[in-house]
Structure 1
Amino acid sequence: MNFLRFIPLFFLLQLRSQACINVPGTSLDGKSTLLFSHPAGDLRRAMDSDPRSMMDLISHESGPDEDPITELEKSGVRKILSGHFDEAIAILTDLEAEFPGRYSTASNLGTAYELHGDLGSALKWIEEGIRRNPESHQGTEWLHAAILKTKILLQDDPDFLNHHHLIELPEAISPRSKLVIQGEEQFALNLQNALHHQLKERLVFVKPTDPIVADLLYSYALLEAHLNSVEPAIELMELSREYGYPKPGQIDQKIEFYQSLIFWRKFRFYMWIALGIALMVTFLVFAYRKKWFFLTLSAYQKAKSAQ
């Protein structure tokens, strides 16, 4: 049908493609990926929060055979959140004597002792909590124990984190990579989840600066870059800097590298768009000269009458 050869240019320009809206990210090999999380935002909200408003944050999970948390334990949790750690320890110790074996009592005692500065007792009760309910805190309390062991180590060697990391990561990491952290073997993806969960809780109480939090944030950033994308890794690096990471030049180097990946990924993206536009314009000019379409109906009718 000859009339189909009349295609108003206005109509062509008004065509819109239908597509889903995605948030683009950049993988460590410079390719385009999707951003599935924004961990630094979650952590900043935790950092800016007031512990007293976080009543549900301190563990009051029950083990499989336990009754719901008692009012006495709630009062102990409130003492922790308000900074009265001596009173919290006294309440929770009495609760353990009266109702021995509860997971939540052990976990909350561990938290109270840590915030009070008694790291040995804190480690004892956190490990006891893990024994009573290993799946608590989404199965991430092993990292809490590792943090406490590192804090104890720092008492004898304050410069330890200047030369080591709490979590030593290999150069190449995939979600199924197996990593050994203080004798505990973990998949990289599990470690990523554990870091987010534990840091989100810890930042409610621990404000900048803190060497262990800074070190964990740096490792979290590296994991995000390997397993997700470099955009959230940059934000986590900056958060690590705020917490006093001892080698800011190392952070600058990583951020510069990540930003270069983002730049070249965007450059390639816009180059493809420019190439597509150039090809479309070339085709339209060629088609117009070949009289495959006309800009107006009168032009079409004139060309038809000339045939």
Structure 2
Amino acid sequence: MAALALLSLAPAAAACINTVGTDYTGRKFHPNWYIGTELTSSMRPYKVGPDDIWVKHTIERALKSPGFDTLNDLGVVLIRQGKYSRAIEHFLTVERLFPGHAQTAANLGTVLELSGHDRVALRWIRIGMKRDPNEHYRTEWLHARILEAKAEMATDPNYLKGRSIAGVSFSDDVVPPLPTKLPAGNDGRPVALWQLNFALSYQLSERTTFVAAPDPVVANLLMDWATLNLAGGPVENAAALYDLAVRYGAPRDALMDRRQAHVREVLAKADKEPKPADIACGICEPPPEAPPAPPKR
């Protein structure tokens, strides 16, 4: 979706978050991101009004200094206000004035999708990925897969049955193992598990601010994200994400009931005042490598 870093709940800013989560065995650890209902509470549609401070500031900047950055931000305002036709015209103008920017392609892809033009949107998302493989923190591969699925759904309403938009599969175990076959990222190579978790978090955090329930695409993605957290992340996330998936139209079947019952059992047995363990979180971003030691003198 559109690059709205200041308005979305994306893990890029996780450095200041210090939470405690629980893995599927009951061990506590630091996932360094929001967990449970705190994670999902902001995942809901909203629009900004004309009196919003951000809107006024963006318009003032664009009028004062109409460069690429300010005009791009002005287009984002139009998207957030739901003025999609005007936003399409605006970004096409930006592309003519300042050709070749990945942000323009990404924003055009977003607003074209919101306007119901999924196939054209997909072309622009792919253009953006070619212009900058790092666009949207390297998560645009998932947006492309979403648009590919929506294009198929237009001719086959049952296309999503038994399919994962994200391109992952899980066993029917109550706690399934983490997937070993992973989808290709922006660069065409398989993503790591933490990158899959990051992409689902980033793309869904933005998508749910535009797309109201029910929606089969969002439900499909939420189901995979919930199961991924059950298998290798905080089970608090799994519980909240399964609930949100149901709100978006996923069936609350027997397997989901067993998984959520397991989460309740694990959390009930967890220590009241736990000491987080130094455990490997299967889907968490690894810590940065320590810089090399200075040479001895």
TM-score (norm 2): 0.69
Count residues in correspondence. Answer: 234
Paired letter, 1:258: V
Where does the alignment leave 5 or more consecutive residues of structure 2 unmatched? 1-17, 56-65, 171-175, 275-297
Q: Which residue of 2 aligns with 1:299?
A: none
Q: Is the Cα–Cα contact under 8 Å of residues 55 and 77 in structure 1 kept in the other structure?
A: no
Q: Which has the larger radius of gyration?
A: 1
Paired letter, 1:47: R
Q: Which residue of 1 aligns with 2:169?
A: 169
Q: Is the Cα–Cα contact under 8 Å of residues 140 and 194 in structure 1 kept in the other structure?
A: yes
Is the aligned partner of 1:26 residue 2:22?
yes
CA offsets 1:208-262 (integer angstroms, 9 cap, x no match): 1111111111111111112222122111111111111135444223211222333
Q: Which residue of 1 aligns with 2:208?
A: 203
TM-score (norm 1): 0.67
Change (3 A) 1:55 1:102: farther
Report the Cα distance in structure 2 between the residues aligned to 1:180 and 1:216, rounded to whole angstroms. Answer: 14
Change (3 A) 1:192 1:23: closer
Change (3 A) 1:24 1:131: closer
CA offsets 1:141-174 (integer angstroms, 9 cap, x no match): 1111111111111112212223222132344217
CA offsets 1:251-307 (integer angstroms, 9 cap, x no match): 22321122233334459x9xxxxxxxxxxxxxxxxxxxxxxxxxxxxxxxxxxxxxx
Alignment of 1:1-307 (within 5 A): 25-28=21-24, 30-36=25-31, 37-39=33-35, 40-47=37-44, 49-51=46-48, 69-167=68-166, 168-170=168-170, 171-173=176-178, 177-180=180-183, 185-265=190-270
Superposed CA RMSD in Å reads 2.9
Paired letter, 1:169: S
Paired letter, 1:253: R
Q: Is the Cα–Cα contact under 8 Å of residues 51 and 81 in structure 1 kept in the other structure?
A: yes
Q: Is the Cα–Cα contact under 8 Å of residues 241 and 248 in structure 1 kept in the other structure?
A: no
CA offsets 1:25-57 (integer angstroms, 9 cap, x no match): 4322x232225233442332131543556969x
Where does the alignment leave 5 or more consecutive residues of structure 1 unmatched? 1-21, 57-66, 270-307
Residue 178 of structure 1 deviates from its aligned partner by 4.9
Report the Cα distance in structure 1 between the residues aligned to 2:45 and 2:153, rounded to whole angstroms. Answer: 26
Q: Which residue of 2 aligns with 1:298?
A: none
Report the Cα distance in structure 2 between the residues aligned to 1:92 and 1:24, rounded to whole angstroms. Answer: 42
SS in 1 for 2:41: helix
Residue 140 of structure 1 deviates from its aligned partner by 0.7
Report the Cα distance in structure 1 between the residues aligned to 2:39 and 2:20, rounded to whole angstroms. Answer: 19
Identity among equivalent pairs (%): 31
